[in-house]
């Protein structure tokens, strides 16, 4: 059993949906297909919901009509035969009827918003199922709202998911080898429609793969895997062919947008490889993420912008262990995650994302000692086999940055990551220099 997840750009049009249908039917092995909403749909639904929250039903109706026209055009292209078109449009029209009725709701709530946001994935699945049928392929619908559930902590209820997913599949006809389901959407512990948020459809695919003990989870996007640097900044980047789960998670957390760090955890826990592939170049090998990796290599670089460094110099009234405890309690109080931390006998420097409560936080920190702040900073994360016995990797990184001021360095907390903090204005030069020093051979 393989899990194949296709993102919004992969199903962005009638042409793309037809292309995906050919990809998933190219082999006869059992598969579960996880679909995102058509590109742009979720953003449009978010805008519709925002207007309904503001009780502006007129603007909301205009946005719904705009979305309806888009789907009507793509549906007509995908289903040129009148009979097939009417079969699928009857289902899609029910969705738009639902959205239009939401404009009449006098008190539009968060629960209503989640119901609205779920419609994009439901429409993608309806279109794909009808298209597969028209092509002569048997496929079975696995309604995500019947098995994908979160618990009272808003975390996936993996026991529930496995039990109900397997029951659904057992009830399907025995000769069906192709199953189609929605990504992103779920129900919460109270039975209300919700979504997985972090990682969205990728998370769905990973959870399904874990529940079914799949052979492989494939994430299909418009990029041929994780690249060894940011292609928006550095020219001639190349895909990294093999990554450890920890390496992929570090890259995802520090800026590689192709994957969310949370979504691969179920696959990692169950030792199921995840392969990142390009829908438009399906013959490319992409990136394979697993618990195995190429040793003794630096793999890739990623960067995370919009950060603030806060340095707190301890007052002499506090001993070191009291100071550290109280410092971390302040961040806990504001529920702020620390991306990077270094310490000395008299002070601590932390790096955090910019947020609205900065003045209040700084006021509390000043009760502990002298505080200084530096904004507009960037963390650059160098990922690879960074075990401390591998002599020389740290030297290579620092040599590449010899002409760039480095504000903080973090090394040793992970066997896969060395991070440095630089000014955001130095990010471009830092990424280019690291690429030239670390990956020169891959460009040849």
- Averaged over 427-437, what is the pLDDT? 95
Among 178, 74, 86, smallest CA distance to 132 is for 178
Over residues 358-389, the pLDDT tens digits come to 889 999 999 999 999 999 999 999 999 878 77
293 is in an annotated binding site: no
| Cα–Cα distance measured from residue 336 to residue 316, given in angstroms and rounded to the nearest whole number | 26
Ranking 289-303, 307-321, 393-407, 416-430 by mean pLDDT, the lowest is: 307-321
7 is in an annotated binding site: yes
- Averaged over 335-346, what is the pLDDT? 88
Among 276, 253, 347, 190, smallest CA distance to 3 is for 276
**The overall pTM is greater than 0.85:** yes
Over residues 158-185, the pLDDT tens digits come to 999 999 999 999 999 988 999 999 999 9
Same fold, 2-222 and 298-440: no
121 is in an annotated binding site: yes
Percent of the residues in the chain that have a pLDDT greater than 90, as a whole number: 78
42 is in an annotated binding site: yes
Over residues 306-327, the pLDDT tens digits come to 999 999 998 776 667 788 889 9
Residue 5 pairs with which residues in a beta bridge?
Answer: 34, 219
| Distances from the Cα of 217 to the Cα of 208, 240, 291, 381, angstroms | 9, 17, 14, 26
Q: Above 60 in pLDDT, residue 442?
A: no
Q: What angle do CA 337, 342, 347 make, to 5 degrees?
A: 105
| Cα–Cα distance measured from residue 294 to residue 65, given in angstroms and rounded to the nearest whole number | 51
Q: What angle do CA 369, 371, 377 make, to 5 degrees?
A: 150
31 is in an annotated binding site: no
Structure tokens, 295: 């040793």
250 is in an annotated binding site: no
CA atoms within 13 Å, Cβ hemisphere of 211: 25
Tell me which of 71 and 257 has the higher pLDDT.
Answer: 71
Ranking 18-27, 223-232, 423-432 by mean pLDDT, the lowest is: 223-232
**CATH dotted code for 298-440:** 3.30.2130.10
308 is in an annotated binding site: no
Q: Which CATH architecture has domain 2-222?
A: 3-Layer(aba) Sandwich (3.40)
Contact 263, 202 (CB under 8 A): yes
Instruction: Return the pLDDT at 443.
Output: 53
149 is in an annotated binding site: no
Q: Above 90 in pLDDT, residue 401?
A: yes
Q: Above 60 in pLDDT, residue 93?
A: yes
Over residues 130-161, the pLDDT tens digits come to 999 999 999 999 999 999 999 999 999 999 99
Q: Above 70 in pLDDT, residue 441?
A: no
Over residues 405-425, the pLDDT tens digits come to 999 999 888 888 999 999 999
- Strands 347-353, 340-343: parallel, antiparallel or unpaired by DSSP? antiparallel
What are the residue ranges spanned by the domains of the chain? 2-222, 298-440
183 is in an annotated binding site: no
Percent of the residues in the chain that have a pLDDT greater than 70, as a whole number: 98
Instruction: Return the pLDDT at 444.
Output: 47
């Amino acid at each position: 059993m393989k899990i194949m997840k296709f993102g919004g750009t992969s199903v962005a049009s009638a042409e793309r949906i037809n292309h995906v249908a050919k990809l998933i039917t190219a082999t006869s092995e059992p598969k579960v297909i996880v679909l995102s909403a058509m590109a742009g749909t979720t953003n449009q639904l978010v805008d519709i919901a925002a207007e309904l929250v503001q009780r502006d039903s007129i603007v909301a109706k205009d946005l719904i009509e705009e979305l309806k026209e888009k789907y009507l055009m793509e549906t007509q292209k995908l289903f040129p035969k009148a009979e097939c078109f009417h079969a699928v449009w009857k289902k899609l029209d029910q969705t738009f009827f639902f959205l239009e009725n939401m404009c009449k709701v006098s008190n539009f709530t968060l629960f209503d918003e989640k119901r609205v946001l779920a419609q994009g994935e439901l429409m993608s699945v309806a279109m794909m199922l009808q298209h597969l049928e028209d092509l002569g392929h048997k496929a079975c619908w696995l309604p995500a709202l019947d098995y994908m559930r979160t618990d009272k902590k808003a975390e996936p209820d993996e026991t529930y998911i496995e039990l109900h997913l397997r029951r659904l599949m057992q009830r399907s006809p025995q000769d069906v080898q192709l199953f189609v389901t929605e990504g992103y959407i779920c129900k919460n512990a109270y039975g209300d429609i919700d979504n997985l948020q972090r990682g969205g459809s990728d998370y769905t695919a990973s959870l399904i793969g874990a529940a079914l003990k799949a052979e492989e989870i494939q994430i299909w996007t418009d990029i041929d895997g994780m690249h060894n640097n940011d292609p928006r900044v550095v020219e001639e980047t190349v895909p990294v062919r093999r990554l450890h789960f920890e390496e992929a998670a570090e890259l995802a957390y520090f800026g590689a947008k192709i994957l969310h760090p949370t979504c691969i955890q179920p696959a990692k826990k169950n030792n199921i490889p995840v392969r990142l592939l390009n829908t438009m170049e399906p013959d490319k090998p992409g990136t394979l993420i697993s618990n195995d990796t190429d040793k003794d290599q630096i793999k890739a670089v990623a960067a995370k912008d919009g950060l603030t460094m806060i340095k707190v110099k301890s007052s002499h009234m506090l001993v070191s262990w009291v100071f550290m405890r109280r410092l971390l309690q302040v961040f806990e109080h504001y529920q702020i995650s620390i991306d990077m931390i270094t310490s000395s006998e008299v002070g601590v420097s932390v790096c955090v994302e910019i947020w609205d409560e900065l003045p209040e936080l700084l006021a509390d920190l000043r009760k502990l000692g002298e505080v200084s702040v530096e904004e507009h900073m960037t963390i650059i994360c160098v990922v690879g086999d960074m075990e401390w016995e591998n002599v020389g990797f740290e030297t290579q990184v620092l040599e590449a940055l010899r002409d760039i001021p480095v504000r903080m360095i973090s090394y040793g907390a992970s066997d896969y990551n060395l991070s440095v903090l630089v000014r955001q204005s130095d990010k471009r030069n830092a990424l280019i220099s690291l690429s030239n020093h670390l990956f020169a051979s891959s460009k040849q």
